[in-house]
Amino acid sequence: MGEEEYQPERQTTTIQQRSDARIVELRLDTVNFLDEIQHALEGKVYDMNNDQWILPEDSEPLIKTKKGILDIINELKTFVNNNNLLSQYTDEEIAKTVIFYGFSLTDRLSANAEEYCDNNTSTLDKIMDIIINNVFAALKRAQGHAESNAISSNQYIEKTVEQPTRRGVLPKMKR
């Protein structure tokens, strides 16, 4: 009598809730996005054979100082974050945001060009290209609630696939 009964419905719900939370977490995770930009600014490339970021012998960081890289990454976090990814941006709003961030980044790079990259205009252009293109792509994910809808679709598909039918795991095929 003191033993608790096995309740598969409760267990399935708990697993499903954890799975739903994981989908949302993965879709909204901006850490990989920011890491990739940080590695690019450090001049690193991804070595698939060794599964790590490396600095090639013939390469050097685009931004010389760790402080410079962190300054840019910290500012970037205000433009690419969960709130922005879940917004319902129009093309015009995305363009305005990217332009605003572009001006902000240009001001930062101009003010610190000597410290960041010895005032090398080619390097400054590369930095702008890397960051602005990635910000644009990230914000396009928010267009028309695209990211919110993708999360909802993934959750719905996962719930549908994980639910066994009463007839067994595989549904009967119609002839």
* Total domains, the chain: 1
44 falls within a domain = yes
pLDDT of residue 58: 87
pLDDT of residue 12: 46
Q: Which residue has the higher pLDDT, 12 or 35?
A: 35
15 falls within a domain = yes
Highest mean pLDDT: which range of 11-20, 45-54, 64-73, 80-89 = 64-73
Q: Where are the alpha helices (DSSP H) in the chain?
A: 8-28, 31-41, 66-76, 82-85, 91-111, 113-117, 121-140, 146-162
**Rounded Cα distance, 73 and 66, in Å:** 11
Residue 14 has pLDDT above 90, yes or no: no
pLDDT of residue 29: 62
Residue 50 has pLDDT above 70, yes or no: yes
The band of 33, judged by pLDDT with boundaries at 50, 70 and 90, is confident
Residue 118 has pLDDT above 60, yes or no: yes
- Tell me which residue range forms the domain holding 104: 10-160
Residue 2 has pLDDT above 60, yes or no: no
77 falls within a domain = yes
102 falls within a domain = yes
Angstrom CA distances, 135 to 16, 89, 122, 143, stand at 32, 13, 20, 13
123 falls within a domain = yes
Task: Record the pTM.
Answer: 0.65
120 falls within a domain = yes
